[in-house]
Amino acid sequence: MHSLDEIHAALKQLTVDQRITLGLRLRELDGIPSLGNQVREDQPAHASSDPSFMTLEEYFELEEKTPLRHEFINGAVFAMAAPSLNHNRIASNLLLAIHPHVKRDGCQVFWSGLKVVIRQDLNEISYCPDVMVDCRPDTRGTHYLREPKLIAEVMSPSTQLIDRREKLQNYRLIESLEEYVLLAENERHVIVYSRAEDWKPRVYSRLDAAVELRSIDMQLPMIELYDDVERPD
């Protein structure tokens, strides 16, 4: 029998239409007994609950088992896109620039897709931001943060709408959060949303500008943030 890895490799060779067919086929399989999983509840034909719907606990378990990272929004999980070189360059430029300064103030910088968990009313959300600053050691779980002071995301074309709309809305719910920073990966463009300014965006795009991060009391030159980044026109 073919392994999951073989299937994963094969998926990449399919056309969009074939993948759509396969996606449909997968849903259909969820309605009939599968050979790998004999015990199934009776279900009405052609209707099923979404198999990928889960609790936050189940999501944490999934994240420990799978090689792919996911975000979690009220029961639904979404696989994260792999970062590009520019994405990584910008995130590490930011990280290196703020790290010594933030440490001096007794805070810590977290990166590499550490999770932040947001619980408010009926909402349970887990995101994996690119960079976070946390100054409240008491509120850290072992695998996630709850009360960061600063969150930064590097935006790719496929995530920019989510970063600017959904995540802005949800990060604002974190009471400790003072600033949310978005850095475009394909051009020199930084947006800072600050609680003190009622989340009204400040935009930086000139090469000689310096991004002001009031939450950690720093000025970051654009030229430093976009150092080594290709084609930031």
Cβ atoms of 158 and 81 within 8 Å: the answer is yes
Cβ atoms of 93 and 112 within 8 Å: the answer is no
User: Other CB atoms closer than 10 Å to residue 192's CB: what's the count?
Assistant: 22
Q: How far is the CB of 203 from another protein (least distance, A)?
A: 6
The rounded distance, in Å, linking the Cα atoms of 145 and 186 is: 29
Q: How far is the CB of 207 from another protein (least distance, A)?
A: 16
Q: Which is nearer to another protein, 95 or 162 (CB)?
A: 162
Q: How far is the CB of 144 from another protein (least distance, A)?
A: 19
Q: Which is nearer to another protein, 73 or 218 (CB)?
A: 73
The rounded distance, in Å, linking the Cα atoms of 100 and 66 is: 33
> 32: exposed, middle or buried (C-beta count within 10 Å: 0-12, 13-18, 19+)?
exposed
The rounded distance, in Å, linking the Cα atoms of 127 and 116 is: 5
Q: Which is nearer to another protein, 10 or 96 (CB)?
A: 10
Q: Which is nearer to another protein, 76 or 223 (CB)?
A: 76
Q: How far is the CB of 221 from another protein (least distance, A)?
A: 20
The rounded distance, in Å, linking the Cα atoms of 174 and 102 is: 20
Q: How far is the CB of 196 from another protein (least distance, A)?
A: 15
Q: Which two tokens stand for residue 160?
A: 């920019």
The rounded distance, in Å, linking the Cα atoms of 164 and 217 is: 23
Q: Which is nearer to another protein, 16 or 138 (CB)?
A: 16
